[in-house]
Amino acid sequence: MNKKIVLSVFFLLLSIFLYSQNKSNIKIMSYNMFIGKGMDDIISLERVAEVINKVNPDFIGLQEVDSIAERSGWIDQAKELARLTGMFSVFAPATERSKGLYGIASLSKKKPLSYLNIPLPGAEEPRTFLIVQYDDYILCNVHMSLDAESRKQSVKIINETVEKFDKPTIITGDFNMLPESEEFKLMTENWVLLSEASINTYPSDSPRQTLDYIFGYKNYNYKVTCKVVMYEPIVSDHLPIFIDISL
C-alpha cells in the first residue's frame, strides 16, 4: 500500500480515537424519592438505593430528601444513599422540616469540583436549585413549586444563573409542570428536552401526569442514545427517569 495512504488512514483512525476519548458519555438519572417513603407507607432508603444501583448512573438528581429529620429516623439521607451506592453526595437544603432539613440532593460517581445552592420562590414552601460543577460539564437539580407563578419566576432565575457557564449544562428535576403548561414553554425557549415527556411519571402506581424531566441548556450538541421512564410503582410516589447521553 502507498506510504501516503497508510499515513492518511493512521491519522484518520487516530483523530477518531482522540475525538471519542474527548466525548463524555454519561448516564443521568432523576428521582423524586419522597424521603424514601413508598406507596406502602414504608420508609426504606435501601429500596431507593436498589433502584439507583439498578440503573448505575453517573449522576442522579434527587428531590424530596431529608437531613437529620425526626419523621425519617434522624438520618442524613443523602449521605446514607451515597454509602449504599458508592457515590459522592451533595445535599441542598430548601427549608426546615420535622426538626431537621428538607431539600434536594445529588449523587455522582465523580467527585464534584464545586457546588452552589440557590434559593427559588415557592408560594407554599421555599424551593431550591442545586448546581454541581465537573471538569467537562455542569449538572443541576431542581424541585419547583406547586404554584405556577413561582415556577415561572424559577425558570427566569435558573436561566440567568446558567447563561454564565461555558460548559454543557444539564438539569434534572421534579418541575411540577405539565408539558402543555406555560412554564414548560418558557423552559424550552432556552433548554432542550432530553427525557421522555410522553410517558407519565406521577403518581407511580397509576401515572397520570408528567412532572419529571431532564433538560440540556441551549448551544450545545446533546446526543441522547437512550431515554427511559422506569416502572417502579412502590418505592416512591414518582417514577424515576434516566438518559444515556454523549456530550
Q: Are 81 and 57 in contact (CB under 8 A)?
A: no
CA 91-94-99 angle, to 5 degrees, is 90
Q: Which CATH architecture has domain 25-246?
A: 4-Layer Sandwich (3.60)
For residues 212 and 214, what is the distance between their CA atoms, to the nearest angstrom?
7
pLDDT tens per residue across span 207-247: 999 999 999 999 899 999 999 999 999 999 999 999 999 98
pLDDT at 23: 57
Q: Is the pTM of this model over 0.75?
A: yes
pLDDT tens per residue across span 26-81: 999 999 999 999 999 999 999 999 999 999 999 999 999 999 999 999 999 999 99
Q: Which residue has the cell 449544562?
A: 169
Q: Is the previous residue joined to 203 through a cis bond, with omega within 30 degrees of 0?
A: yes
Domain residue extents for the chain: 25-246
CA 77-90-188 angle, to 5 degrees, is 110
pLDDT tens per residue across span 193-211: 999 999 999 999 999 999 9
For residues 101 and 68, what is the distance between their CA atoms, to the nearest angstrom?
7
Whether residue 84 is predicted with pLDDT greater than 60 in this model: the reply is yes
Average pLDDT of the chain to the nearest whole number: 92
Cell of 180: 402543555
